[in-house]
Amino acid sequence: MLKRPAFHIDLGACIGCKTCMVACIDKNDLPRGILFRRVSEYSGGGWTRRKDGTFVQNVFAYYLSIACNHCENPICVRSCPTTAMQKDEYGIVSVDPEKCVGCRYCEWGCPYSAPQYDADSGKMTKCDLCRDYLEQGKPPACVAACPTRALQFGEYDDLVARFGKSEVVAPLPDPAITQPNLLCTPGPTAQPPKSRNGKVCNPEEI
Ligand code: SF4
Ligand code: SF4
C-alpha cells in the first residue's frame, strides 16, 4: 500500500471517452444516480467576424475526470459529526456505514462533490481507491481502464517526479481548500482557475 496515494490527470491526453467512469460504476456496482468518478466537459469560446469578413475563433474544450482526491486536509472528515468519514493510515478517505447517519454534511463540504448519497440505504458512499485492488497490488479500476493513460495513480512524490508540478485549471476549486492528492497537467487549451470563459456542458451526465 502507498503512503500518499494520488491521481494524475493529463488534460492533453484525456479524450473524454468516460471509460474510467464506466469502469468505476462496474467495479462498485453503482446504482443509477451515483457516480464515484465523473468526467466533465468544459468548453467555451466562439467565432468573431473581422472587418475583412473573415472569422477568427477561440473555441476550446477539454475533459476533467475527477473522483475523490483523498485530500491531505479532507473537509469531509472535519464536516462529519459522527466520525463516520475517516482518513486511514494508507491515506484512503472512506465512510463507515455503521456510523453514517446520512446527514450529508460531508457532501456539502467537499468542493469536488465526491461523497455520494445513497437514498436507498440513507447512507453516504464514496470512492475508496479500490482498496481491495490496492491490497492485491493492482491499480484502481478507473486507472487500469483508461485507454490513453491520461489517468495515472501512484505515490504523490513519484507522480510529481514523473509529471512535474501540478497546475490548477478551470473549473477545479482552489487546492488550498483541501490539499487534494490530485496532480493536473494542463492541455493546450486549458483555462486559468476562476476563468469565466467556459462552462461545464454535460451537467446531466455528472
Ligand atoms: S475530495 Fe472531497 S470527499 Fe474526497 S477527501 Fe477531499 S474533501 Fe473528502
Ligand atoms: S478513460 Fe481516460 S481518456 Fe477516457 S475519459 Fe477517462 S481519463 Fe479521459
Strands lying side by side in the sheet with 60-66: 60-66, 38-44, 198-200
pLDDT at 20: 98
Per-residue pLDDT of 168-190, as tens digits, reads 999 999 999 999 999 999 999 99
Phi/psi-derived region of residue 100, left when phi > 0, alpha when psi is between -120 and 50, beta in every other case? beta
169 C-beta closer than 6 A to ligand 1: no
Is the Cβ atom of 76 under 6 angstroms away from ligand 1? yes
**Beta strands 47-49; 55-57: pairing state:** antiparallel
Nearest ligand by distance to the CA of 181: 1
Which residues' Cβ are closer than 6 Å to ligand 2? 14-20, 39, 63, 65, 145-146, 148, 150-151
Best of 10, 11, 14 to mutate for ligand 2, by most ligand atoms within 8 A of CB? 14
pLDDT digits (tens, 9 = 90+) for 90-122: 999 999 999 999 999 999 999 999 999 999 999
Cβ atoms of residues 38 and 57 within 8 Å: no
pLDDT digits (tens, 9 = 90+) for 4-46: 999 999 999 999 999 999 999 999 999 999 999 999 999 999 9
User: What pLDDT sits at residue 117?
Assistant: 98
Q: Which ligand is nearest to the CA of 72?
A: 1
- Atom of ligand 2 at shortest distance to CA of 13? 3
Q: How far is the CA of 15 from the centre of ligand 2 (A)?
A: 6
pLDDT computed for residue 27 by the predictor: 98
Q: Is the pLDDT of residue 194 over 90?
A: no
pLDDT for 61-82, tens place per residue? 999 999 999 999 999 999 999 9
Cβ burial 169-188 (10 Å sphere, 16+ → b, else e): bbebeebeebebbbbbbbbe
CA distance 36 to 91: 17
Q: Is the C-beta atom of 6 inside 6 A of ligand 1?
A: no
Confidence of residue 2 (pLDDT cuts 50, 70, 90): very high
pTM of the predicted model as reported, rounded to 2 decimal places: 0.94
What are 30's three cell numbers? 453503482
- pLDDT(196) > 90: no
1 pLDDT above the threshold of 90: no
- Per-residue pLDDT tens digits for 109-161: 999 999 999 999 999 999 999 999 999 999 999 999 999 999 999 999 999 99
Nearest ligand to residue 180 Cα: 1
Q: Is the pLDDT of residue 54 over 90?
A: yes
